[in-house]
Structure 1
Amino acid sequence: MADALVSAVLQQLTAVVYQEIEQEVTLVVDVRKEAQKLKSTLQTIQAVLIDAEKRQVKEEAVKLWLDKLKATSYDMDDLIDEWNAFILTSQIAKKKVCSCVASPCFSFSKIVLHRDFAVKVKDLNKRLQVIGREKDTFSFDLIRANEEVQRPITTSFIDVSEICGRDQDNHIILNKLLSENSQEKRGLHIISVVGMGGIGKTTLAQLAYNDQQVKAYFDKRIWVCVSDPFDEIRIAKAILEALTEVAPNVIELETLLQKIHHSIERKKFLLVLDDVWTEDCTKWESLKHSLKCGSPGSKILITTRKENVANIMGSTTLFPLSQLSEEECWLLFSQVAFFGRSSEDCKGLEDIGRKIANKCKGLPLAAKVLGGLLRFKKSKEQWQSVLDSELWELEEAEKGIFPPLLLSYYDLSSTLKQCFSYCAIFLKDSVIEKDKLIKLWMAQGFFKGTKNKQVETIGQECFDDLAMRSFFQDFQKNENNSRILKCKMHDIVHDFARFLTKNECSMLEVTVANDPKIESCTEKGRHLVVVLEKGCSFPPFIYNFQKLRSLLIKSYNKNSSIGGALPKLFDELICLRSLDLSWCLIKEIPKEIGKLVRLRYLKLSNNHDLRELPETLCDLYNLQTLDLTRCRSLRTLPSGIGKLQNLRHLDNWETFRLRVMPKGMERLTCLRTLKELVVADVCNDSRTFTIGDLENLSCLQGDLKIRGLGNATDLTEARKAKLRNKKDLVGLTLNFDISTGRIGGEDIILEALQPPPCIERLEIRCFNGPLVFPSWLQSTTLAQLRRITLSNCRNWEYLPPLGKLPSLESLEMLNMERVKTVGVEFLGVTREEGQTSSPTPSPASSSSMIAFPNLTSLRFTNMREWKDWISCEISSTRGAEVDVAVMPRLHSLDIQTCPKLKTLPHHLLRLTSLKELSITWCPILSEYCRKEWPNISHIRDIRVDGVYVRRNGH
């Protein structure tokens, strides 16, 4: 963590010096010298940090020295951030004055650094020089980042009688090792066991390696502990020695590989490569090629913490290893903890022992370490003390559980170290939203965007890297594209993050029964989570935490004391970069918020009574994320919001009362997220954002909902929006809900609002225009469109022809009041398309097409005039038959509140793909289905008016 922080500060210091040239900033000469001294001293200290971070686990003095270094580094970073905020404010003020002065622009001198900054730089330099001198007392080794870190050496030997659990995992691995199929005969079969440190990968490999069936099946078995770095010659020597039982005396890799090739040729072998870390495929390729001459059925078994390693090694099977079950973990723990105890002693300690074992969360290493700790503790009070302690506070955890995790931590870049350590701010076992985590990382400045790569993309890569290294688990994914949405951290990985950030991240729980004390947190902390119970006052001593960078307040029980604390909070905690005030019953944001000039992330979601935001919020020039989700009483946004030119994410989902967007938002050209845009009902008002102003927001991505399109009267403005050019949008809602009462014109507005071709989700709501479908909805240009919802299109008498959309999977039709018939036009089929290429087709000639080729889910709701659904029987104008396949992949059909609908079309009844049929409040159709039972009984699940008539074949 210290290494990561120092690296970040060094980058910042370098940037400050370059500001002289790039941003017309004049540094006082003394300050320039002091900044160079700071940089030089930091570089000297950085050279010993890898050794210091390793030694902090066992040496308290080193740990204290690192804490002092981190505190000073944080203060340096705060000072640099203050300087950058000053520069940004000055430049914005300069632009503002220039815009008010007639051309040529008013002349300004360079921005001169104020004296306070110079004094603070000198003070920090003195502090850092003291730290630099103190480092010499520890005799640190100068270890470069790419030097080998001491790692445990594994062997194949194991006492099977000491192993608890893993029976099912062992059975799966054995089946994979002992099976032989045609695919495996064609190439080398590589099985990778992937999981976090201490989860039992090596133990599972040892169990398989020593199994009697495995010994009998393979002609040769080789075990190599690879570790890091991946030394090809050492590994080749180890393999050759295992094959020949003679230590090789050659040193050339080519000779070694030739001998390996000769030794395994036409032999069935098992090679275990334990603890592989390298992601350099070139180090593995030559060795891999030398092993391809073994007999069919030869296997390579790899253990690694990193999924990417498994992919690079060319794994044919990837086996993610999960935690032990609760009972397995208890058996392993009790086997160690109760060794040599009487049955009476064991019985008396079992209840508390099970609770301690649960703290291990299925991690075998933790069960062994805690079991070993309690093996020599005899009294129940001693066991209770261990139970009451946080794992990261136990010395035994530092020495036994955390070292394997430290290896994974050392393998991270400085950026990833910061990103991982920051995760200590989340409550244990909490669900972590990936996008929120990335925005919090951004707010802390852990990474910067580049010309070719956006900062969000870098954040996504950091998350993926940590996920592939087993730092995250329990992923919740988008069902459509498998994109990770949420995750968790294993409790012990979370404890490890807390261990790394002991004096930086704190959690304060304020309950009625137990008033908090200031000693429970450190005033030098940088990140704080406050959990407030209902009825508890906001603890005033938090005002003293003036160095806080993150403050996340969890008010699950709707505590109302927070609003009154905000003015002083904003006065005192001016170093904040991230502030979460969601669910805090806040009715008003005080004007003092403008003092938080370093703030990048502000979450105000679910404050349902919040009506407005102060204009001073627009002074937060660094703000990147403003989350107003479900602030349902919010009526306006500040008129000066255009000043927030660093704003990237404005999340205003479900701000129902927001009826206008202020002019100036078009200047937010960095904006990536804008959940809802409101088209005002005030025509030609220069103070309001118009639909045409969307042109400037070219970076929008994700989902966009446009409300109030019924007020859009200017076709030129609609065309100016250029929605079709916003290539990063994936979801679009066009809602005509707010109307001026005019009649006509909506159809040409809708035509002008053509979505981008990459759109995946589309909704059209409350369209009042005539029966004129937009041309883009009938074409194949929306090739990636997967989901459509059409609702309350009151004047449409027919459904639009959507059958040609190649990727459409889900279609919903809601409240289409005038539709009476659904016919072949809905399929997108025309009679002309039935014509063959023959100039004079015979009556026997025919053609074919597929309507809705990928549709799996179809739903109709509240179509009260709908009577007929016509089957797709069509002939061409020249008499040729047209073979139309309709919805061949349809899985689910749901029809609700269509009281006049008589029948279902025959082409749907014949579908073997249809598995779910639900009919609700459709009396005529329900009766029809009862009569047609022989024709629909093949459908797996049939539900009528909420009652299953047939379910899962019964």
Structure 2
Amino acid sequence: MASTILCSTINMIHHLDYLILKPSCSSSTSSPSSSNLCATDQQDLKKMKELLKGIQELLSDVDEQACNNGDAQSWLKELKSAVYNAEDILDDLDIELHQCGVEVCSLTPSLVFSIKEMIEKLDDISHRKESLSLSLRVGERFHLYVPNVDHSVVYGREDDRENLVEMLLSEGPDKFSVLPIVGVPGVGKTTFAQMVYNDSRVCEHFRARGWVHFAEDFDEMRLIRAVIESVTLTTCFSYGLDSLQGNLEYVLSGKRFFIVLDDFCSEKQSLWESLRVLLDVGLEGSKVVLITQDELLSELTQSTLFFHLECLPYDTSWLLFQHHAFDCMQTNVSQNLIAIGEKIVKKSSGVPLLVKMFGALLWSETNDMMWNSILGSNQTAFDIFSAVKLSFYQLPVPLQVCLKYCSLFLRNYLFKKDRLVHLWIAQGFVHPLDGKTLEETGFEYFDELFRRSFFQFSYMDQHTFVIHHLIHDFILSISEKECSILNCENICSIPKEACHLSMIPKDSHTVVEFQTLSEPTALRTFLIVNKFLVIKKPEHEWDFHYYLNNHLLHVSLPNDLFLMLQCLRALDLSDIGISSLPDSIGHLKSLRFLGLNKTNIRRLPASICKLHHLQTLELQDCLDLRELPKEIARLINLHHLEIPKSVRFVLLPCGIGKLTRLQTLPVFYVGRNIEHYVIIEMKHLENIKGELHIAGLHNVLNAEDAKEANLVGKQYIEKLTLEWSWKYDDLHSEGLDRWTLEDFMLHGVEVEESNVTAMLQEQYLGECKASVVSQDSDDTWIERIDVQARSVDPKKARKKTIWRNRKVTDFQDMVFEHLQPHQNVQELVILFYKGSSFPKWLGNSSFSKLVSITMKGCYNCKVLPPLGQLPSLKSLCIEDFVKVKRIGAEFYGDKSVCIVPFPSLQTLEFNGLRSCEGFNGVGLQQIASLQSLKIQNCPKLQFSAAQEIPPKLWHLEIVKCPLLIEWCHAHESSKLANIKQLILNKKGYYPFG
């Protein structure tokens, strides 16, 4: 409890520093040391700050493990309540200062009274500390530096891996074989199985694969459903047992499958038997792996195969310990520390979890006393639970609090890094270090916990994480009642003592009914946590969404539900069947995190714009969402706006550019009218990070607006997608048909083989009072069309100016030129560009971090851009350049700048170059680093007789390119000798092994 209070205290001190020095909202000349608070109010806040600093100093030295006496616990509970209340008061103060429109602001009497009352309360509690028997320890300064350690390295399992792969690939007399992997806790059974599960040979051999964590509350239906969903990677819509059994048979029938049941125990033997009889439908050679610590499991499961994962030998354990404890320091380590380290490794008994945890704990530690304290007693071996406890209490206080917060998750729950960090930030657990942002510091917290083995990679990839079940059991044991999990079918009330609460629905048919609370609660977190994570895999990347879908989990939210939950800082209602939110959500004045992913919500209530402190708003996969509230610009503290990527269906209001603290905005759709935002609103969004997809660029009316968007100044964008419309339409006709025209003047319009003039006369000019269409004799066209438009309501009459260029293509050339990104960009995607030439910046060697480019649907471009000068480009995909006839020297770049073209390119793909006939010059053999080449749908493309294959090329795939396939057959033995993988028209061919 002391660590939680300390974390909140530190957060408030930072907050008070900001409030005391906050400049006036109405004055741009305030000095950094000035404040818009009156002198009396400033004094009150300074007094509160001094009290909190005293509490911080005391709690920094409290030995939380030893504070078990009743008086100390009561004092800490009272202090926690007061500190939490003080945080809420500061939130009110922040809102009031924001709303204050004068240079010097006097607080409302009620808020002044609350502040003074809180100061008295803190003062009283602080003075009573002298009568308590608080155990103290030496205060530790919070220093965080995460070393660059490769955690994907697995020591000493190479032979084991080969042996298990051989067993899995072997055929047996039965349709499927059961293979238990047995080992002591912490030996790395799951990590080892993950290596094998993702082995390329295993992936190729088994058509169907699935991984299921055996949950404690599994029954037959849940187990079958989990297997189905893990294999299909989609949500199972079967409900009854018979339906589920039939679905499982359909999924596995006629396939060679590989299923892993993790964390299996003999107590679930009856469940296993019920599943076993359903698995006899696959092809021979199918395998089921059971991960367990039960030595007798092979007999219980009647398995003929068995794999015992032994502890690591000493030499390997020592290498693993060095990897985590010494790293780059290894050459400077004293012999004394090495001697102690060797003893620690011996007492770890070859258990990798212990070795890694102790190694990470002692990293950069040069004090012999610390090493000896770890070595500890005369026990011959370490106990895992004790080791986890020791490592936990050596963590800095904020990291302890962050880890305890994870007790809200179920055992084996899969989570993503950024989402967990956003939840930590919402609770005030993260304190910025060395001028870094909250997010940067939070990611460092996460990385440190990962380095110390509290978090580890999941079985799927290195972007999804899980907590080892032994560590999860430990944090559950210390989280007290502050973090609670409810496994209820119907929730009528919230435990009074809970500060953080997660609700676990019993199953997908759960009906959750919230009743209006009779009194306020101090709840600060409420999460609906789904039990299973289902993964859908689109073309190139994992897309995560949760198990329960819109039609399964039914939740009733009373209109006044949130009136008694005003202390909430994090609310997650993702993956439930709600279509709207109560207006009372606007009363959650302290809310920082709101998760609404994969709900049926179409519109958010206007009251959501009152959430002054909101930092994260998640709306991913809300397929019914149409627009956001018009006053969303009031959410000035918003950092992360996760909107659906189906951008054409979501309308965002103008004013989005006022959210200058935004870091996450995955999609920015350029609207067609003034009610929805235009590209110039990007100008002040300088903190956007990660991925940005700008769509609707065909709606840009003025090329200078694209320049004003200032993409070149957005240094944190790593992946940039620029998308025009795939249709070649008149981009503003939809806007014109809303008006009755009085005068329509077109100067020098060129009509190419279409009846545009007739269309205009029929659809628009027929209602004009007068119209003039003229053409300049010198064929120079005016760049502006003035439309005098009159609405049905004469009061709304206005003049509308539409900027146009001589041709759409020429105008888009100018737009693209002004969309130059910052040189830190790493990935660039260009979709349906309407211009005929590429900007000068594209391909410039100054983009030294650019590693991937995808260009699709550039239908008017006749030549490829000069990309060969990019020094770090590794992947290039060019698709649907229908007017390119030859790939010339310009593609490889200026030889004076880049002697060797494409010096880093490894993967190259051409698709849909339907007019392209060949390569000028020596062709692709210039790309010496190329390893994979894929060419599709290029019917006219051919290699010359002199064409040579790049020396490092090992993968060549040709699809629907008859001339190239003919060339491959003709030169199979002479020029394709080094190709290890050759695919012609999607048929694998391995001519030379």
Question: Under a length normalisation based on structure 2, what TM-score does the superposition of the two structures give?
Answer: 0.62
Q: Contact (CA 8 Å) 1:72, 1:127: kept in 2 or not?
A: no
Residue 595 of structure 1 and its aligned partner are, at CA, apart by 1.0
Q: Work out the CA distance in 2 between the residues paired with 1:549 and 1:764.
A: 43
TM-superposed deviation, 1:788: 0.4
Asked if 1:741 corresponds to 2:694, the answer is: no
8 Å Cα contact 2:11-2:431 kept in structure 1: no
Q: Find the partner of 2:114 among 107, 112, 117.
A: 117
1:72-471 alignment, distance < 5 Å: 72-95=78-101, 108-114=105-111, 117=114, 121=118, 128=125, 132=129, 136=132, 139-145=133-139, 272-275=341-344, 305-307=358-360, 309-310=362-363, 402-449=385-432, 452-471=435-454
Most deviating of 737-746 and 712-721: 737-746
Letter in 2 for 1:570: F
* Alignment-derived partner of residue 144 in structure 2: none
Partner SS, residue 899 of structure 2: strand
CA distance 1:588–1:29, shift in 2 (3 Å) = closer
Aligned to 1:803: 868
Q: Distance in 2 between matches of 1:546 and 1:564?
A: 19
Distance 1:696 1:30 in 2: 36
Q: Supply the AA of the counterpart residue of 1:49.
A: V
CA contact (8 A) 2:454 2:467 kept: yes
Measured against aligned partners, the alpha-carbon deviations of 1:801-834 in whole angstroms (never above 9, x if no partner) come to 211111110011122222332233322257xx59
CA 1:11–1:717 in 2, change beyond 3 Å: closer, same or farther? closer
- What is the CA–CA distance in structure 2 between the aligned matches of 1:557 and 1:416, rounded to whole Å? 31
Q: Would the aligned equivalents of 2:647 and 2:669 in 1 still touch at CA under 8 Å?
A: no
In structure 1, what is the Cα distance between the partners aligned to 2:560 and 2:678?
38
Report the counterpart of residue 475 of structure 2 in structure 1: 497
Q: Is the Cα–Cα contact under 8 Å of residues 729 and 758 in structure 1 kept in the other structure?
A: yes
Match of 2:930 among 890, 909, 917: 890
Q: What are the residue-to-residue correspondences of 1:645-660 with 2, within 5 Å? A: 645-658=636-649, 660=651
Instruction: Report the alpha carbon displacement of residue 408 of structure 1 after superposing the two structures with TM.
Output: 1.5
Structure 1 unaligned residues grouped into runs of 5+: 99-104, 148-165, 173-195, 215-225, 228-234, 240-268, 277-300, 315-365, 370-399, 479-483, 835-847, 874-883
Mapped to 1, the partners of 2:362 and 2:463 lie a distance apart of: 23
Structure 1 residues 132 and 80, CA, compared in 2 at 3 Å: closer, same or farther? Answer: same
| Structure 1 residue corresponding to 2:854, chosen from 780, 783, 789 | 789
Quick one: structure 1 residues 936 and 443, their matched pair in 2 at CA, closer, same or farther if it must change by over 3 Å?
same
Shift in Å at residue 913 of structure 1? 1.0
Match of 2:567 among 550, 555, 575: 575
Change (3 A) 1:868 1:367: farther
Aligned pair count reads 696
Contact 1:634 1:655 in 2 (8 A): no
In structure 2, the CA distance between the partners of 1:530 and 1:575, relative to structure 1 (3 Å rule), is same
Q: What SS class does the counterpart of residue 849 from structure 1 fall into?
A: coil
Cα distance in 2 for partners of 1:925, 1:670 equals 52
Decide whether the 8 Å contact of 1:632 with 1:654 is kept in 2. no
Query: What is the aligned-residue identity percentage?
Result: 27
Paired residues of 1:893 and 1:918 also in contact (CA < 8 A): yes
Give the 3 Å change call, closer, same or farther, for CA 554–46 of structure 1 in structure 2: closer
2:989 pairs with 931, 949, 953, which one? 949
Equivalent AA in structure 2 for residue 444 of structure 1:
Q
Partner of 1:667: 658
Counterpart CA distance in 2 for 1:14 and 1:784 is 36
How far apart are 1:615 and its partner, in Å? 1.7
Cα distance in structure 2, aligned partners of 1:775 and 1:594: 49
Q: Distance in 1 between the 2:46 and 2:874 partners?
A: 64
Letter in 2 for 1:449: P
| Contact 2:882/2:913 (<8 A) preserved | yes
Q: Give the conservation status (yes or no) of the 8 Å contact 2:648–2:669.
A: no
Q: Deviations over 1:191-237 (max 9, x none)?
A: xxxxx99879xx989956999xx9xxxxxxxxxxx99xxxxxxx99x
SS in 2 for 1:487: strand
2:411 is paired with a residue whose SS is coil
Query: Per-residue displacement from partner, 1:583-638 (whole Å, max 9, x unpaired)?
Result: 2233222322111111111122222x322222211111101111222223322221
Q: Residues 717-736 of structure 1: matches in 2 within 5 Å? A: 717-736=705-724
Change (3 A) 1:541 1:275: farther
Structure-2 separation of matches of 1:726 and 1:15: 28
Residue 603 of structure 1 corresponds to: 595
Task: Return the offset for 1:424.
Answer: 1.7
Q: CA deviation at 1:35?
A: 5.1
2:93 partner letter: I
Which string of whole-angstrom CA distances, capped at 9 and with x for unpartnered residues, describes residues 387-420 of structure 1? xxxxxxxxxxxxx654332322222222222122
1:925 is aligned to: 964
Tell me if the contact between 1:197 and 1:404 (Cα under 8 Å) persists in the aligned partners.
no
Does the 8 A contact of 1:438 with 1:456 survive in 2? yes
SS of structure 2 residue aligned to 1:776:
coil
Asked if the contact 2:9–2:83 (Cα under 8 Å) also holds between the matched residues in 1, the reply is yes
Which residue of structure 1 aligns with residue 62 of structure 2?
49
* Other structure's SS at 1:918 match: strand
Distance in 1, Cα, partners of 2:406 & 2:380: 24
Q: Does structure 1 retain, via aligned residues, the 8 Å contact 2:698–2:724?
A: yes
Letter paired with 1:535 = H
Distance between the aligned counterparts of 1:209 and 1:632, measured in 2?
51
CA deviations 1:342-389 (Å, max 9, x no partner) are: xxxxxxxxxxxxxxxxxxxxxxxx9999xxxxxxxxxxxxxxxxxxxx
Structure 1 Cα separation of the partners of residues 882 and 952 of structure 2: 30
More helix by share: 1
1:4 Cα deviation from its structure 2 partner: 4.2
* One-letter identity of the residue aligned with 2:906: T
Q: Secondary structure at the match of 2:842?
A: helix
Q: Classify the secondary structure of the residue corresponding to 2:523.
A: coil
Residue 275 of structure 1 deviates from its aligned partner by 4.9
Who is 1:534 aligned against? Answer: 508
Equivalent residue for 1:345? none
Q: CA deviation at 1:681?
A: 1.0
Distance (Å, rounded) in 2 between the aligned partners of 1:562 and 1:648: 30
Instruction: Tell me, yes or no, if structure 1 residue 766 matches structure 2 residue 757.
Output: no
Aligned ranges 1:467-866 → 2 under 5 Å: 467-474=450-457, 485-510=463-488, 522-532=495-505, 533-540=507-514, 543=517, 546-555=521-530, 556-558=547-549, 562=554, 564-565=556-557, 567-607=559-599, 609-658=600-649, 660-682=651-673, 685=674, 687-737=675-725, 741=730, 743-744=808-809, 745-770=811-836, 772-828=837-893, 849-866=899-916
Preserved CA contact (<8 Å) 1:424 1:505? yes
User: Aligned pair in 2 of structure 1 residues 306, 692: CA closer, same or farther (>3 Å)?
Assistant: farther
Q: 1:275 to 1:735 in 2, by over 3 A?
A: same
Query: Does the 8 Å contact 1:275/1:303 carry over to 2?
Result: no
1:808 corresponds to which letter in structure 2?
Answer: L
> Secondary structure in 2 aligned to 1:650?
strand
Partner residue, 1:5 = 5
Conservation of the 8 A alpha-carbon contact between 1:610 and 1:633: yes
Displacement of 1:41: 8.4
Residue aligning to 1:374: none
CA offsets per residue over residues 409-442 of structure 1, 9 Å max, x none?
2222222221222122222212221111211111
Distance (whole Å) between structure 2 residues aligned to residue 86 and residue 30 of structure 1:
18
Q: Partners of 1:15 and 1:746 in 2: how far apart?
A: 47
Task: Go from structure 1 to structure 2 and tell me whether the alpha carbon gap of 1:936 and 1:82 turns closer, same or farther (over 3 Å shift).
Answer: same
Q: For residue 944 of structure 1, report the CA deviation from its aligned partner.
A: 2.2
